[in-house]
Amino acid sequence: MAHSHPELTKNQSLVFGSLSDAGGPLTAYAILDALRDSGFRAPLQVYRALEKLVDYGLVHRLESLNAFVACSHSGCAGHDTAAFAICEKCGLVSEFTPDKAIAYLKDWTGEQGFQLSRTTIELRGICKQCAAA
Amino acid sequence: MAHSHPELTKNQSLVFGSLSDAGGPLTAYAILDALRDSGFRAPLQVYRALEKLVDYGLVHRLESLNAFVACSHSGCAGHDTAAFAICEKCGLVSEFTPDKAIAYLKDWTGEQGFQLSRTTIELRGICKQCAAA
DNA sequence: GTTATCTATGTAATAATATAACGCCACGTG
DNA sequence: CACGTGGCGTTATATTATTACATAGATAAC
């Protein structure tokens, strides 16, 4: 699941590049706009590339923002158990891997007989910088 | 934050009722369709009611489904730290309150100086029933 | 009692996010 | 070559959510 991946195609590289350059989350349509000069014309070009990139573990989808962000730990181990802290002031997104919290969630799913395939953990609040300001 | 609430208005009652009756998540437009006979005509009627209901802690938004579900613990304490296990086969949604996992997440936010206001925890997988089948 | 204000509501229009359906081309394998 | 697979381009459409503006009722102030 996720992790190693073949060479990226042209479109995948462009999409991944625009996310990396942004250094933060972008919506699919923001990516589309960023790549018009590179020849992108339609949303599907972006969505198709994103699907693969998420699959490969290079990009995360932020459900609560309907946006996408390049993975902080390229080729990251816990890609499917990453968590995100999202600042509601400045938009900063910090990715981390809450192993112990995940362990407790897995305890619960184990007890329930729930076969866990993917976790979404997104924290909303104010980052240190913005709180200080 | 959340919890006690005034009397529900007519629209709020209708929306809450349809979510309760459903016993599972509904999209805003599914609610709209369910309430056409009750006089609903436009999405905004649904979204406005949902906003209040979420505010009051009676309804949760499931970010990964773009859907809404009545809170399992009416007037639930940990409304803003609830977690959900979502079965990808049958659509069953189980709400629970992973206190220990939340505690670890709060450890992290505390260390980072991140002022946490809201958590989203959604687990995808296969429920016990569907796994057995 | 009238004015001001606040909340809820109704309606139309539109924005933002995401997918379906089709056909084409490049590539590798038998 | 014939064929299957995967990526790509394009059009159209589906789904989710909000903006903008008008109306109606309750309440408090004067």
What digits encode the pLDDT tens for the residues A26-74?
Answer: 999 999 999 999 999 999 999 999 999 999 999 999 999 999 999 987 6
**Segment B31-45 mean pLDDT:** 97
| Alpha-carbon distance values, B100 to A57, B8, B18, B78 (Å) | 28, 33, 33, 12
pTM of the model: 0.93
Q: What is the pLDDT of residue B59?
A: 96
The C-alpha atoms of residue A37 and residue A58 are separated, in whole angstroms, by 23
Using the CA of A6, give the nucleotide whose C1' is nearest.
D6
Give the burial string for A54-84 (b: 16+ CB within 10 Å, else e): bebbbbbbbbbbebbbbbeeeebebbbbbbb
Task: Confirm whether any atom of chain D, the nucleic acid strand, is less than 7 Å from CB of A29.
Answer: no
At B39-91, the pLDDT tens digits run 999 999 999 999 999 999 999 999 999 999 999 876 566 778 999 999 999 99
The C-alpha atoms of residue B93 and residue B130 are separated, in whole angstroms, by 13
Q: What is the pLDDT of residue B62?
A: 98
At A72-109, the pLDDT tens digits run 876 566 778 999 999 999 999 999 999 999 999 999 99
Strand partners, A67: A62
Nearest-Cα distance to chain B for A77, in Å, is: 18
CB contact under 8 A, A128 and B122: no
**Segment B22-40 mean pLDDT:** 97
Contact B122, B83 (CB under 8 A): yes
CB-based contact (8 Å) between B115 and chain A? yes
CB contact under 8 A, A123 and B109: yes
Q: What is the pLDDT of residue B75?
A: 56
Residue of B90, B14, B22 whose CA lies nearest to B52? B14
DSSP E strands: which ranges in B1-72? 59-62, 67-70
Q: Are strands B83-87 and B115-126 parallel, antiparallel or unpaired?
A: parallel
